[in-house]
């Protein structure tokens, strides 16, 4: 995974330089872009961290950049910077999925607070996504029978019920179950149910 | 009740005013009646020009209908004094009653239908005035002559001729005097007119009228009406030029000239009646032309007023636009400034302070502070220039001045500025300081646009072109042009493709040009360059 960075998009050279200096002196690495267009040409799907986006850009404006990020299905939280946090601007930005907004001039404490919260969120989402991908990979190794057993268990059925439904012996159910748990790395029935729920938006 | 004995100064002043008006009216009436007692039809004393009627109608219209009894008194005593009592008291009373009733009704009708603010100023007012006075004076003439015919003082075969004489006399009295008196009432207009009296044009106009009259009488061979049409020309000139006051005054001069000519040449009375008939036509023509001209100039004035108000509103709107633009513009350096100071603090918190880096940061802090103060001073400059002071300036020298100002910078950048002035002698009606500023912005923009080009293609062309009531200054550059997207936001604040610009040049330029009643547009733009057109009002 890439190191978390702040991607600062602002058309004012002095602001880019100043905010980058503050971030770097606070131990946050930053990359700067003079326009939305420049940012989008260089944007890569594996970037992680936070986009710090000036709302009133020359050329493409902040909202358009936000939409483009969403359209490309890139998970990268956006924080909007506005000169005066007027309701309409902030509303439009938040509606388009912005994580938060900062008023210019940007206060250092606020800036770092927001950035760290975004980084945490970004971390968590990425970890969750990674875990789910891992789980999916494991679930992919299950046989159709093992998947059936897991489905019934997640739905809360007893071994005997499952045996009757599948027309096999309760003993065989036990065997499939332990093989399934081994493949998924589940240590208890609770684990199985938890994994089942997390997989439930996709097919098991 | 003691209050009734205390004189209310307001009432006192008003009764004094009424008394003064009445005395003035009687004096003028009698004086004019006596002076115009020429070629009378004996024994009734019907004269071919009867100016007192014009004064009577003016009194009723200007001072109020309630002055009607004065008409009766004046007519009655004029008959006694000027005409030597042609009939007995009862007969004279009836005649005076006919005159009083006729013109009081005329005044009522006119008051109801005329615009009261500036009577006779519109063509509609004039038509109403002409119709009402023509009809009422005819009715009065028929009634007056009819009365004396009834009591046997007019022979039946003279009836029609006497009615015509009376009618023409009264009509001319009204048409020559009433409009003239209304114009005298407008003191402001009078003062303006007096100011113009010394102008060469007025002297020429007066001379033309005199020449017309001289020709009328000198080359007439006993028939002055033969050449009278010549007088129409100077009168129409005067009327078209000065509006209703001009025509009223011109008619007065002509009528007095006719009287003088008649006195000198001593023509037959029929000749004078004939001349007075022509004079009626002249009055109607002159007054119509005058009213139309007045109407037009008033429309022009109100249009001008509206335009001024509109440009004021536009200025206000663009001021709002600028305020928000400049607030944003000020916030940019402030943001950078505050972050640089944050950075300095962070640097201090470190154990070994990096002095070189600190110096660099402090330099940037200072630069941003200067940038902010630059925005403020530009704002101040703009508002100091905010008031437009429209002057007449020649287009060519104005443009030359701006080009000269930018020439050195252009030379340094290797940009050639080509000026072609096909309409350089046109006179612009603009604030020269504001327009110079706007031109400077547009030209600077063009120079900046071509600077990245190869040296042989760094050309800016400026041309002055003439339109009907405007002058177009076309600034064409050979730069990369403006994209359709950029063109849409071209005149919005902070839109700049330049690294150093603040995106205000075109905004300010357009705002200034519009405040001067012109416009600034991007006419064409493609890969070979852009062309801006500044349209400016011209004389």
Question: Residues for chain B: how many in total?
Answer: 539
Residues of chain B neighbouring A84 (CB-CB closer than 8 A): 327, 331
Interface check for A95 against chain B (CB to CB < 8 A): the answer is no
Summarised one tens digit per residue, pLDDT across range B502-525 is 456 787 788 888 888 889 988 887
Nearest to A58 among B327, B336, B495 (CB): B495
Q: What is the DSSP string of B472-508?
A: EEEEEE-S----HHHHHTTTSTT--SSSS--S-HHHH
- Cα–Cα distance list, B262 to B42, B174, B285, B371 (Å): 19, 20, 23, 85
What's the average model confidence in pLDDT over B105-133? 79
Residues of chain B neighbouring A56 (CB-CB closer than 8 A): 328, 494
Q: Which of B54, B60, B144 is nearest to B98 (CA)?
A: B144
- Cα–Cα distance list, B513 to A156, B482, B509, B533 (Å): 79, 21, 6, 11
Instruction: Report d(CA B275, CA A75) in Å as an integer.
Output: 101
- Residues within 8 A of A (CB atoms), B 474-493 only: 485-486
Q: How confident is the model at residue B493 (pLDDT cuts 50, 70, 90)?
A: low
Across the beta sheet with B529-537, the strand order is: B416-421, B459-466, B470-477, B529-537, B519-526
Q: What is the pLDDT of residue A131?
A: 85
Q: How confident is the model at residue B94 (pLDDT cuts 50, 70, 90)?
A: very high
Interface check for B334 against chain A (CB to CB < 8 A): the answer is yes
Interface check for B352 against chain A (CB to CB < 8 A): the answer is no
Helices (H) and strands (E) in chain A, counts: 9, 5
Count Cα neighbours of B300 within 13 Å in the Cβ-side half-sphere.
Answer: 6
Residue linked to tokens 């039946």 = B156
Distance from CA of A61 to the nearest CA of B (A): 12
Q: What is the pLDDT of residue B3?
A: 47
Residues of chain B neighbouring A26 (CB-CB closer than 8 A): 346
Summarised one tens digit per residue, pLDDT across range B224-274 is 777 888 888 899 998 888 888 888 889 989 988 888 887 777 777 778 888
Nearest to B361 among A21, A26, A59 (CB): A21
Instruction: Report d(CA B67, CA B252) in Å as an integer.
Output: 25
Instruction: Report d(CA B303, CA B320) in Å as an integer.
Output: 26
Interface check for B30 against chain A (CB to CB < 8 A): the answer is no
Residue B73 in this model has a pLDDT that exceeds 70: yes
Interface check for A58 against chain B (CB to CB < 8 A): the answer is yes
Summarised one tens digit per residue, pLDDT across range B428-481 is 888 887 788 788 888 888 888 888 877 777 889 999 888 878 899 999 888 777
Are residues B67 and B59 in contact, defined by beta-carbon separation less than 8 angstroms? yes
Q: Quote the tokens at residue B289.
A: 């032309």
Distance from CA of B375 to the nearest CA of A (A): 15
Instruction: Report d(CA A69, CA B286) in Å as an integer.
Output: 78
Q: What is the pLDDT of residue B500?
A: 45
Cis peptide before B43 (omega within 30 of 0): yes
Q: What is the DSSP string of B21-50?
A: HHHHHHHHHHHHHHHT--S-BTTTTB-S--
Q: What is the pLDDT of residue B424?
A: 75
Q: Quote the tokens at residue B279.
A: 């004079």
Residue B486 main-chain phi, psi, to 5 deg = -65, -35
Residue linked to tokens 């990359």 = A31
**A8, containing H or E segment:** strand A5-9
- Cβ B332–A56 below 8 Å, yes or no? no
ipTM attached to this prediction: 0.73
Q: Which distant-in-sequence residues (6+ apart) come within 8 Å of B31 by Cβ?
A: none
Q: Quote the tokens at residue B202.
A: 């007025």
Q: Which distant-in-sequence residues (6+ apart) come within 8 Å of A24 by Cβ?
A: A30
Q: What is the pLDDT of residue B54?
A: 92
Task: For residue B197, count other CB atoms closer than 10 A to its CB.
Answer: 10
Helices (H), B197-231: 200-218
- Cβ B339–A59 below 8 Å, yes or no? no
Instruction: Report d(CA A102, CA A86) in Å as an integer.
Output: 11
Instruction: Report d(CA B174, CA B168) in Å as an integer.
Output: 10
Instruction: Report d(CA B58, CA B55) in Å as an integer.
Output: 5
Residues of chain A neighbouring B500 (CB-CB closer than 8 A): none
**B523, containing H or E segment:** strand B519-526
Residue B292 main-chain phi, psi, to 5 deg = -65, -40
Q: Quote the tokens at residue A64.
A: 């358009």
What's the average model confidence in pLDDT over B38-62? 84
- Cβ A14–B364 below 8 Å, yes or no? yes
- Cβ B331–A83 below 8 Å, yes or no? yes
Instruction: Report d(CA A47, CA A4) in Å as an integer.
Output: 8
Q: What is the pLDDT of residue B25?
A: 92
Are residues B40 and B47 in contact, defined by beta-carbon separation less than 8 angstroms? yes
- Cβ B346–A26 below 8 Å, yes or no? yes
Strands annotated E in B331-480: 391-394, 416-421, 427-430, 459-466, 470-477
Nearest to A25 among B347, B368, B499 (CB): B347
**A171, containing H or E segment:** helix A170-184
- Closest residue in chain A to residue B344, using alpha carbons only: A22
- Cβ A108–B335 below 8 Å, yes or no? no
Q: Which of B329, B261, B249 is nearest to B294 (CA)?
A: B249
Are residues A41 and A33 in contact, defined by beta-carbon separation less than 8 angstroms? no
**pLDDT, chain B, mean:** 82
Summarised one tens digit per residue, pLDDT across range A43-95 is 998 898 999 999 888 778 888 999 999 899 888 899 999 876 677 888 888 88
- Cα–Cα distance list, B334 to A22, A52, B366, B382 (Å): 15, 18, 11, 21
Residue linked to tokens 């109407």 = B295
Instruction: Report d(CA B257, CA B39) in Å as an integer.
Output: 16
Q: What is the pLDDT of residue B440?
A: 83
Interface check for A113 against chain B (CB to CB < 8 A): the answer is no
Q: Quote the tokens at residue B308.
A: 């001024």
Residue B355 in this model has a pLDDT that exceeds 50: yes
Nearest to B335 among A15, A26, A59 (CB): A15
Residue B305 main-chain phi, psi, to 5 deg = -60, -45
Q: Say whether B349 sits in a helix, a strand or coil.
A: helix
Q: What is the CA radius of gyration of chain A?
A: 24
Instruction: Report d(CA B98, CA B136) in Å as an integer.
Output: 11
Interface check for B422 against chain A (CB to CB < 8 A): the answer is no
Which of the residues in chain A have pLDDT under 50? Answer: 1, 202-204
Q: What is the DSSP string of A42-108?
A: H--TT--EEEEEESS-SSS-HHHHHHHHHHTT----EEEEESS--HHHHHHHHHTT-SEEEESSPPH
Instruction: Report d(CA B91, CA B85) in Å as an integer.
Output: 10
Residue B536 main-chain phi, psi, to 5 deg = -130, 140
Are residues B424 and B464 in contact, defined by beta-carbon separation less than 8 angstroms? yes
Percentage of chain B modeled with pLDDT above 70: 86
Instruction: Report d(CA B430, CA B404) in Å as an integer.
Output: 20
Q: How confident is the model at residue B321 (pLDDT cuts 50, 70, 90)?
A: low
Distance from CA of A124 to the nearest CA of B (A): 29
Q: Which distant-in-sequence residues (6+ apart) come within 8 Å of B227 by Cβ?
A: B215, B216, B219, B220
Are residues A91 and A83 in contact, defined by beta-carbon separation less than 8 angstroms? no
């Amino acid at each position: 995974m890439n190191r978390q960075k702040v991607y600062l998009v602002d058309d004012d050279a002095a602001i880019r330089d100043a905010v980058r200096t503050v971030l770097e002196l606070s131990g946050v690495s930053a990359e700067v872009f003079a326009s939305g267009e420049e940012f989008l040409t260089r944007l890569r799907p594996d970037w992680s961290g936070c986009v710090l986006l000036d709302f009133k850009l020359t050329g493409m404006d902040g909202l358009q950049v936000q939409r483009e990020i969403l359209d490309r299905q890139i998970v990268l939280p956006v924080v909007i910077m506005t000169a005066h946090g007027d309701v309409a601007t902030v509303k439009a930005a938040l509606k388009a999925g912005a994580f938060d907004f900062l008023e210019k001039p940007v206060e250092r404490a606020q800036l770092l607070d927001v950035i760290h919260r975004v980084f945490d969120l970004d971390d968590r989402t990425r970890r969750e996504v990674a875990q789910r991908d891992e789980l999916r990979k494991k679930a992919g190794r299950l046989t159709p029978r093992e998947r059936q057993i897991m489905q019934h268990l997640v739905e809360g059925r007893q071994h005997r019920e499952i045996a009757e439904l599948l027309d096999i012996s309760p003993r065989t159910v036990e065997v499939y179950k332990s093989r399934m748990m081994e493949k998924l790395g589940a240590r208890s029935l609770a684990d199985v149910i938890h994994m089942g729920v997390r997989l439930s938006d996709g097919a098991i | 009740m003691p209050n009734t004995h205390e004189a209310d100064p307001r009432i006192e002043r008003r009764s004094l005013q009424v008394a003064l008006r009445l005395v003035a009216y009687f004096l003028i009436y009698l004086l004019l009646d006596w002076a115009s007692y020429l070629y009378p039809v004996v024994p009734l004393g019907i004269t071919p020009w009867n100016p007192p009627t014009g004064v009577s109608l003016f009194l009723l219209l200007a001072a109020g209908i309630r002055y009607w009894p004065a008409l009766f008194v004046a007519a009655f005593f004029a008959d006694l004094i000027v005409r030597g009592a042609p009939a007995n008291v009862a007969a004279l009373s009836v005649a005076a009653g006919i005159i009083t009733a006729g013109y009081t009704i005329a005044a009522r009708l006119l008051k109801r239908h005329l615009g009261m603010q500036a009577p006779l100023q519109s063509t509609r007012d004039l038509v109403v005035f002409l119709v009402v006075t023509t009809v009422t004076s005819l009715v009065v003439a028929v009634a007056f002559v009819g009365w004396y015919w009834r009591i046997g003082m007019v022979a039946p075969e003279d009836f029609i001729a006497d009615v015509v004489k009376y009618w023409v006399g009264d009509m001319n009295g009204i048409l020559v005097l009433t409009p003239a008196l209304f114009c005298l009432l407008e003191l402001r207009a009078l003062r303006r007119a007096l100011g113009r009296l010394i102008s060469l044009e007025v002297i020429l106009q007066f001379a033309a009228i005199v020449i017309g009259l001289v020709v009328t009488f000198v080359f007439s061979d006993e028939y002055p009406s033969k050449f009278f049409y010549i007088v129409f020309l100077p009168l129409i000139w005067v009327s078209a030029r000065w509006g209703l006051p001009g025509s009223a005054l011109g008619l007065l001069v002509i009528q007095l000239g006719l009287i003088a000519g008649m006195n000198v040449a001593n023509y037959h009375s029929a000749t004078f009646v004939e001349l007075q008939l022509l004079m009626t036509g002249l009055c109607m023509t002159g007054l119509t032309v005058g009213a139309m001209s007045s109407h037009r100039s008033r429309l022009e004035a109100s249009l001008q007023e509206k335009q001024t108000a509109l440009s004021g509103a536009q200025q206000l709107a663009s001021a709002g636009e600028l305020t928000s633009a400049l607030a944003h513009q000020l916030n940019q350096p402030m943001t950078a400034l505050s972050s640089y100071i944050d950075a300095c603090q962070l640097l201090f918190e470190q154990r070994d302070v990096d002095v070189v880096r600190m110096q660099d940061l402090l330099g940037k802090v200072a630069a941003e502070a200067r940038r902010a103060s630059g925005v403020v001073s530009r704002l101040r400059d703009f508002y100091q220039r905010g008031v437009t002071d429209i002057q007449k300036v020649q287009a060519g020298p104005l443009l030359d001045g701006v080009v000269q100002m930018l020439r050195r910078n252009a030379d340094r950048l290797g940009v050639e500025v080509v000026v072609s002035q096909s309409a350089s002698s046109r006179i612009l009606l603009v604030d020269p300081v504001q327009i110079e500023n706007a031109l400077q912005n547009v030209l600077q923009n063009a120079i900046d646009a071509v600077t990245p080009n190869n040296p042989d293609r760094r050309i800016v062309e400026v041309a002055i072109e003439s339109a009907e009531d405007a002058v177009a200054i076309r600034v064409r550059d050979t730069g990369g042009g403006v994209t359709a997207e950029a063109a849409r936001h071209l005149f919005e604040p902070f839109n700049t493709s330049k690294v150093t610009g603040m995106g205000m040049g075109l905004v300010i330029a357009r705002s200034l040009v519009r405040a001067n009643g012109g416009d600034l547009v991007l006419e064409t733009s493609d890969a070979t360059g852009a062309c801006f057109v500044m349209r400016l009002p011209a004389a």
